Amino acid sequence: MFPFPRLMTGSEYLNEDLKRREEKKKSKQDASVKGDKLLTISARIAEHDLASKIQNVLKWLSKSYEVRIVVTGDGAGNKAKQEDIAQRFEASIKDTGKIVQKRLRDNDLRFNILPTAGGSAVAGKKGLLDVKETTNGLNEPQAARGLHTQARSAA
């Protein structure tokens, strides 16, 4: 008859599992792109909203996401506006990403932005919760939430 396969001991099973986990972790770190994000915007987007979307894209690129952008248009008159939006993205992300596969399909302009290897940090960007060390006249730091009161002693 056929010989039975050798059963693994608990320690052998644990070692195999640890090797598998290490290989999986290593392959995950080697991957240059984590995943992808999709951003759909209109060609009639306001200036402030466009700046906000560009900041979102920069954040995603710094986290190694591929970004797919669709600029929708209503008709033939928006093609110039769509191209202008694509150029604004290209100028803003030149240090952190690269535009690939720009194409015009129906009334939509579609392009992908791939993160570059050196684009891991967004230069000059401060977080919302960063506290600025300023004084309120008494050499005490101001509160982070905007409560700017001075402590006066009752003399």
As given in the structure block, the two tokens for residue 99 are 């535009």
98 inside domain? yes
Of the candidates 85, 92, 101, the residue with the CA atom closest to the CA atom of residue 36: 101
25 inside domain? no
84 inside domain? yes
Rounded distance, CA 19 to CA 17, Å?
A: 5
Q: What DSSP line would sit under 48-102, residue for residue? A: HHHHHHHHHHHHHHHTTEEEEEEEE-SSGGGHHHHHHHHHHHHHHTTTTEEEEEE
Rounded distance, CA 109 to CA 71, Å?
A: 5
| Domain that residue 92 falls in | 36-115
12 inside domain? no
Domain count, the chain: 1
Half-sphere exposure of 86 toward its Cβ, with a 13 Å CA cutoff?
25
Rounded distance, CA 134 to CA 64, Å?
A: 35
What CATH code is carried by the domain that includes residue 71? 3.30.110.10
pLDDT at 70: 93
Amino acid at 38: L
89 inside domain? yes
pLDDT at 7: 78
Q: Is the pLDDT of residue 122 over 50?
A: no
108 inside domain? yes
User: Which of the four pLDDT bands, split at 50, 70 and 90, describes residue 31?
Assistant: low
Of the candidates 62, 126, 124, the residue with the CA atom closest to the CA atom of residue 93: 62
**β-bridge pairing 65-72 and 108-115:** antiparallel
29 inside domain? no
SS3 146: coil
Which of 151 and 3 is assigned the larger pLDDT?
A: 3
Which of 1 and 75 is assigned the larger pLDDT?
A: 75
143 inside domain? no
pLDDT at 34: 78
pLDDT at 9: 86
pTM of the predicted protein model: 0.57
